[in-house]
Amino acid sequence: MTRNAGSHGPTTAASIRRVGLKLIYEHGFNAMSLRQLAAEVGLQPASLYNHIRTKQGLLFGLVHDHMLALLEQSAQALAAAPQGDPVGRLRAFIAHHLLYHMEKKREVYIANFELRSLEPANYRIIVALRRTYEERLIALLEEGVAAGVLDVHDVPVTAYAILAMLTGACTWYKPEGRLSKPEIVALHTDLVLKGCLRTAEAPQGRGPDLSKLTGQPPLRRGNRPTPPAAGHEAPA
Amino acid sequence: MTRNAGSHGPTTAASIRRVGLKLIYEHGFNAMSLRQLAAEVGLQPASLYNHIRTKQGLLFGLVHDHMLALLEQSAQALAAAPQGDPVGRLRAFIAHHLLYHMEKKREVYIANFELRSLEPANYRIIVALRRTYEERLIALLEEGVAAGVLDVHDVPVTAYAILAMLTGACTWYKPEGRLSKPEIVALHTDLVLKGCLRTAEAPQGRGPDLSKLTGQPPLRRGNRPTPPAAGHEAPA
């Protein structure tokens, strides 16, 4: 056991959060005890209550901070992207999302896998923040559709599909893996953009005739805004 | 409490599995007790041991059956697809994966979220089955690349990205949602195929110049086989 918490409040609080994140990630929220947390931080169980009131409070704090960081850093990435360039902005969103998720593997895991462990009021707050984040990608796709550079069946469900794909990287990514982060970003960016770009019409002889290749009739395509994703939950 | 188990062994065993699946899905493996399971099935706790030996055995059985079903049904879907048509076979794989994951939401959830709850020997068996399933998609993508119809940066990581995207549907899909299953299949099929199809070369003036739009240099493209995804875990 490492005694990494001194008598300094902020340092101890940071240790509790760091160790709490690790324990929830490794054992699950239900299986982790505050007694175990206190022991790993190097505190008496009673002293823990000077810093956190409940296990639920610890979980909510971890997930809430993750969502706020994701939203803030994503906004910064978009602010730095060229305005008026929907593809450039989508590219910035994709790169940020991937880099964040490869870095914050444990936070993301807990935010997804322990969503069910949040009490109703906390759950609603987190789901609202997730919705805000999803709406950001939905707005980017709508910008691209409106500008005539993107062409997707349905904007909200396409956004969910893209988020699931990008978030998936945090489950298999390892720093020592075969591909570097820039290569992983390039691969996903290419996959998403090719998947969403408007292809030139077949009659002009430009681009593959996708409907023939996919065997699917085109549906709900075009520039008109799509209704909200009622009846569909946020993707994990 | 519904007493839905009689004295018939197979019926009781099926009830235990069905209720066990529900309880693990709702409360998590660590939080579920065999006492609770017995009560919901309508058995005395001691009688439960006539059917399952341990909670771990129950979990492993559920995840193992799910993986075998996924592998078998996927093989059937591919057997029914046109041979020698890599795009048609990829389409069959995508449609089956999506339909299975929209149907078997709870099995998929448990197989992904409780993977860490499996004991080492059980974990290795499940991960090997997942690897077999991933290899099936990897082989399909390699067929398409070899046939010159697909063009991806890196086959294994593209397979992980596709699987994460398709599996994501089980987290947000609801039968009463806005899009039907065929529409969801069409949307994802289009996104994946457009993302992976070889686009005509820019010099011929056919298709968008993707490298300009994505701002990424092309890397590791082409027909040569890719090394195995060493260092990368299976996607959740």
ipTM: 0.81
pLDDT of residue A129: 98
Give yes or no for residue A202 having a pLDDT over 60. Answer: no
Does the beta carbon of A158 lie under 8 angstroms from any beta carbon of chain B? yes
pLDDT bin (cut points 50, 70, 90) of residue B192 is very high
Whether A28 sits inside 8 A of B158 (CB atoms) is no
Kindly give, in sequence order, each residue whose CB lies less than 8 Å from that of residue A160, ignoring residues fewer than 6 positions away: A134, A229, A232, A234, A235, B168, B169, B172
Percentage of chain A surpassing pLDDT 70? 81
Give yes or no for residue A76 having a pLDDT over 70. Answer: yes
Q: For residue B216, list chain A residues with Cβ-Cβ distance below 8 A.
A: 185-186, 189-190
Concatenated DSSP letters of chain B: ------S-HHHHHHHHHHHHHHHHHHH-TTT--HHHHHHHHT--HHHHTTT-S-HHHHHHHHHHHHHHHHHHHHHHHHHHSPTT-HHHHHHHHHHHHHHHHHH-HHHHHHHHHTGGGS-HHHHHHHHHHHHHHHHHHHHHHHHHHHTTSB--S-HHHHHHHHHHHHHHHHHH--TTSSS-HHHHHHHHHHHHHHHHBPPPPGGGT-S--HHHHH-----S-SSSPPPP-TT-PPP-
pLDDT of residue A9: 64
pLDDT, tens digit (0-9, with 9 covering 90-100), for A105-164: 999 999 988 998 999 999 999 999 999 999 999 999 999 999 999 999 899 999 999 999
pLDDT, tens digit (0-9, with 9 covering 90-100), for B205-218: 333 444 444 444 33
What distance lies between CA B134 and its chain's CA centroid? 9
Kindly give, in sequence order, each residue whose CB lies less than 8 Å from that of residue A64, ignoring residues fewer than 6 positions away: A122, A125, A126, A129
Are B100 and B224 in contact, with CB atoms under 8 Å apart?
no
Does the beta carbon of B174 lie under 8 angstroms from any beta carbon of chain A? yes
Q: For residue A169, list chain B residues with Cβ-Cβ distance below 8 A.
A: 160-161, 164
Name the residue among A171, A190, A230 with its Cβ closest to that of B236.
Answer: A171
Mean pLDDT computed over A170-183: 93
Q: For residue A87, list chain B residues with Cβ-Cβ distance below 8 A.
A: 213-214
Mean pLDDT computed over B13-31: 91
Give yes or no for residue A217 having a pLDDT over 90. Answer: no
Are A194 and B209 in contact, with CB atoms under 8 Å apart?
no
Mutate to test the interface with B, among A108, A162, A187 (most CBs of B within 10 A): A187
pLDDT bin (cut points 50, 70, 90) of residue B31 is confident
Does the beta carbon of A164 lie under 8 angstroms from any beta carbon of chain B? yes
Alpha-carbon distance of A234 to A163, in angstroms, equals: 10
What domains are there in chain B, each with its CATH number? 1-53 (1.10.10.60), 55-214 (1.10.357.10)
Does the beta carbon of B195 lie under 8 angstroms from any beta carbon of chain A? yes
Give yes or no for residue B134 having a pLDDT over 80. Answer: yes
pLDDT of residue B113: 85
pLDDT, tens digit (0-9, with 9 covering 90-100), for B75-116: 999 999 998 899 999 999 999 999 999 999 999 999 988 998
User: Amino acid letter at B181?
Assistant: K
pLDDT bin (cut points 50, 70, 90) of residue B201 is very low
Mean pLDDT computed over A186-215: 66
Q: Average pLDDT over chain B, rounded to whole?
A: 84
Give yes or no for residue B236 having a pLDDT over 90. Answer: no
pLDDT of residue A186: 96
pLDDT bin (cut points 50, 70, 90) of residue A40 is very high
Alpha-carbon distance of A145 to A159, in angstroms, equals: 13
Q: Average pLDDT over chain A, rounded to whole?
A: 84
- Number of Cβ within 10 Å of residue A34's Cβ equals 17
**Separation in Å, CA of A36 to nearest CA in chain B:** 16
pLDDT of residue A229: 34
**Which runs of E-coded beta strand occur in chain A?**
none
